[in-house]
Structure 1
């Protein structure tokens, strides 16, 4: 019985191990850790506890990578079978639901755990640089592994419940936001209610809620990692966070097994989803007639939700910003209107960057996934014109976030103008802008080659590139005497290099889309 249950898992794992790109990706991580060690070793004479600084970078890089894997990799375990209409065929072939869940989710989890284990021996070398103990390394990787197991099974539940990969990824993202931001927001609401004397400070409800919030803090991987990375940490690696995340992973898998028969067999249309497009003749939500740029109209309404999704974003961003400003105003003694504007500006700048990153990961992937490039290429336009039209239509979905970004900038404009001239004169500012643009182009290019995970892969490649750049810059500065002229020259050269990469990515994306359209 067990042999039949793990048959699909065994096959998926064998196929994954035979792929060359799997071993190249793991080798890349091992080389990355060694390269970081080289940088830390070369800079150890200039800073104290270089090993702790290196280890902190590696731990938080793994944390971000796990978050991206949970949103893009684990959340698509079952939804990709739904979209391809193959779940019924698998069940007809005698694959039971438990075997299907194990076969789809466990190989991805094992691959991610192997990626963590590959780094472990090299990370131990950080102990020799000072500031890190063996117990800290063990505890950090145990916390990350437990969080990875819990997140992978959370993604499995969302993949079972949702009909499409995008909805499952959104549900995982919402769950993570509640996991990390829910306890402090609930605690703030309780403190406000006590201050307003809506509830008494020593009531049973207040004590029970505070105990629950405390347990939520203890189960948070971020809180555990911040505790582990402090100097003098000497606690057990198998703490409360480890066991709660492990138990949550088991419970999520059992929940996915119980919900499989209810949700996984739901019929999914083979056509792309229409999102929040109204099926009725609603003047506001209905897409109406096509624009002169029909492809931009199609991407705005049928890929990014249209006016309905824009309205939802507008309301949600407004409520979130109001809550954030109210929380900061409540917890701080003075919070001026100018500071509020800066808070809104920088918050929405991060949101805009995230939104465009998500758009770049799916703007061409949608056409590849639904095999519509062949029919799209038949339009009387070049492939470059079609691609730019899709970009224009997708960027219209960022207008709600950009609206609040402009509002925040106008409120805090006096504070920003004072530093604007100094910032614009710095080569590092322009390098950062070019890096962000290059990251978006790299993500869009990778999405035409791989089935999933273009965004986390682009993030890892950019991180590796930045490490190489920092190492090269430090060597050039030390070799040139450490003058500011050498530093600025290296920044300008790297900016020109990335600018050339952006221009080249346009041609590569065009060639790739043309090739896919001819298949």
Structure 2
């Protein structure tokens, strides 16, 4: 068993070191750390403990990266073998379930550790800069290691149960969100309805054993705790239990007669529990009669955008979030609802745009339907434009919720017009920059989704986009101390056109992939 596990481990490392994107990602992490260090350096004149501030930035950025990897990287541990139909070959070669899990899951943990190893020297630089002790840095490392173990096993368990990487990523993302933020949200809601008080709340033991709370305690000045905390023990214990559960489920849920359509049968069983008027058979959906472009738009809107059913579900979600914001005690009733709609629709809109950018072309290439679309009497540009239009039509509920929120909170309009009258050049250039940056984000997500899987590609694109987007703001308001004059507007304008040029550069390999000149 050990020999086979080592063989899988070495194979994972060999594939990793030979991929160019791995080294580019390490270089991006190193640049991000240097960028954070430069911010601390230029702000050190009014910071009392630059080492502590630098340690906080490194700690929480690493925590976010490990959490995202748990949601988008580890869920493909077993599903990639299912999708490539090689899981049966591994089992025929005598690879046991435990060997497969150890060889694949532990190998990816090692890849992640090598990935973040480029930032290791900077952790000890925090001690040199002052404000942080060696014990605090070691406690942060142990806490993050326990968090990585837990995130890896959550992703592995989802990868064992679900049949595709997309479903495993969605399940892992929901699980991690509920684990990290569910107790806090539940506590706030129950306290708002006066069902519990702070004294008798059962939720503090839940979120205090999670890494965000523990890291917040460790990076405080004067930390006197040790290396091993309750969070470390509970996270390692939970990871061990999840590994055992994955081992028990791997053979049970991945036989040949269970892999195809297991989730479909689960949904069919759930629908069978509904009343007859609700679960009655619907009329079959047919594409509209007319030009081919309308059929493409119809297909993408219903297949990738969810159709009108998801319109109503998203509208219901925005209604619930507006209701929850209305329970707060500040401002007027409509102002609270407006702010809730703005905040929710803004972040949900970003997530939806990234989702469509990562999946719109990837699914066609993966399912080998793109060549069939190219045979239609339409140019490739017309096909892509129809698909983008279908994604935009699916985003209508988000845009409507954002517009309603801004109409309810009219002070935002007044602030926008006031800023435009005060600095028209800067405001116009920042607007152009935001549009260009959004175009770049879409191109980055689309490119990396075609090169890797769309979920991991989204994480890589988000990191690059965040670095590229934040740099002009840092140059204008941090390093160059321009404070909003017209020179800052020129910087933003130049950065916007630079983003557009980078997006045009990514357009070439995407076009080559869609034309069949390169493999995705």
Provide the TM-score with structure 1 as the length reference: 0.85
Partner of 1:250: 240
Partner of 2:164: 164
- Residues 21 and 232 (structure 1), Cα distance of their counterparts in 2 relative to 1, 3 Å cut: same
**Is 1:143 equivalent to 2:146 in the alignment?**
no
Partner of 2:514: 513
Partner of 1:289: 287
- Residues 126 and 188 (structure 1), Cα distance of their counterparts in 2 relative to 1, 3 Å cut: closer
**Is 1:338 equivalent to 2:335 in the alignment?**
yes
Partner of 2:274: none
CA distance in 2, matches of 1:321, 1:114: 43
Partner of 1:445: 447
CA distance in 2, matches of 1:518, 1:255: 37
Q: Which runs of 5+ in 1 are unaligned?
A: none
CA distance in 2, matches of 1:349, 1:189: 22
Partner of 2:353: 356
Partner of 1:220: 210
**Is 1:115 equivalent to 2:111 in the alignment?**
no
Partner of 2:249: 259
* TM-superposed deviation, 1:502: 3.8
CA distance in 1, matches of 2:391, 2:419: 30
- Residues 422 and 333 (structure 1), Cα distance of their counterparts in 2 relative to 1, 3 Å cut: closer
CA distance in 2, matches of 1:472, 1:380: 49
Partner of 1:315: 316
Structure 1 range deviating more: 121-130 or 108-117: 121-130
DSSP 3-state at the match of 1:515: coil
Q: Is the contact made by 1:348 and 1:404 (CA closer than 8 Å) also made in structure 2?
A: yes
Partner of 1:65: 65
Number of aligned residues: 498
CA distance in 2, matches of 1:233, 1:281: 63
CA distance in 2, matches of 1:189, 1:339: 16
Structure 1 range deviating more: 464-473 or 445-454: 464-473
CA distance in 1, matches of 2:178, 2:143: 19
Q: CA RMSD in A?
A: 3.3
CA deviations on 1:224-275 (whole Å, 9 max, x unpaired) are 22223333333223211122111111111111111112222354459xx999
Structure 1 range deviating more: 16-25 or 417-426: 16-25
DSSP 3-state at the match of 2:227: coil
DSSP 3-state at the match of 2:376: coil
CA distance in 2, matches of 1:54, 1:353: 28
CA distance in 1, matches of 2:505, 2:243: 44
Which of 420, 433, 438 in structure 1 is aligned with 2:416? 420
- Residues 226 and 349 (structure 1), Cα distance of their counterparts in 2 relative to 1, 3 Å cut: same
Q: Is the contact made by 1:83 and 1:268 (CA closer than 8 Å) also made in structure 2?
A: no
CA deviations on 1:183-206 (whole Å, 9 max, x unpaired) are 12332454466x46xx9x89xxx9
CA distance in 1, matches of 2:393, 2:77: 30
DSSP 3-state at the match of 2:375: coil
CA distance in 2, matches of 1:380, 1:48: 67
Partner of 1:462: 465
CA distance in 2, matches of 1:482, 1:437: 26
CA distance in 2, matches of 1:315, 1:467: 34
Q: Is the contact made by 1:443 and 1:454 (CA closer than 8 Å) also made in structure 2?
A: yes
Partner of 1:26: 26
* TM-superposed deviation, 1:347: 1.9
Partner of 1:173: 173
Q: Is the contact made by 2:12 and 2:108 (CA closer than 8 Å) also made in structure 1?
A: no
DSSP 3-state at the match of 2:220: coil
Partner of 2:498: 497
* TM-superposed deviation, 1:20: 4.4
**Is 1:49 equivalent to 2:49 in the alignment?**
yes
Provide the TM-score with structure 2 as the length reference: 0.85
Q: Which runs of 5+ in 2 are unaligned?
A: 272-278
